[in-house]
Amino acid sequence: AQKVTQAQTEISVVEKEDVTLDCVYETRDTTYYLFWYKQPPSGELVFLIRRNSFDEQNEISGRYSWNFQKSTSSFNFTITASQVVDSAVYFCALRVQGGSEKLVFGKGTKLTVNP
């Protein structure tokens, strides 16, 4: 069975602070995909990034960066110089190869960026 744990339920920061959202996953499959989604107050889930299990290279996209470490089964997400518009609930998700390829989500981390 697959499981995703986001231990941080809520985080509050002041604008321009850096913040890291933690994600730990569990799976016995060797081929899998990891995702981050953002859910702003409007409610629609927005895809941010995907990673496959064979690519541990970290990725940076503007103020966003992701750190994938198979040794610790973690896929952490860092926002640099946070902005008020970053306020949202962030979900980490796991999908294994084959089968229904359903997403298994963590419980989400609610990030509030205060001005």
Partner 1 sequence: GAGVSQSPSNKVTEKGKDVELRCDPISGHTALYWYRQSLGQGLEFLIYFQGNSAPDKSGLPSDRFSAERTGGSVSTLTIQRTQQEDSAVYLCASSWRGGWGEQFFGPGTRLTVL
Instruction: Give contact residues for partner 1 (rule: CB under 8 A).
Output: 33, 35, 37, 42-47, 50, 52, 91, 93, 99-108
Nearer to partner 1 (CB atom), residue 41 or residue 115: 41
Q: How far is the CB of 115 from partner 1 (least distance, A)?
A: 27
Q: How far is the CB of 85 from partner 1 (least distance, A)?
A: 19
Nearer to partner 1 (CB atom), residue 80 or residue 110: 110
CA angle at residue 1 from 95 to 5, to 5 degrees?
70
Distance of CA 102 to the CA centre of its chain: 16
78, β-bridge pairs: 20, 65
Q: How is residue 92 written in tokens? A: 């980490």
Phi (first) and psi of residue 85, to 5 degrees: -70, -10
Q: How far is the CB of 67 from partner 1 (least distance, A)?
A: 19
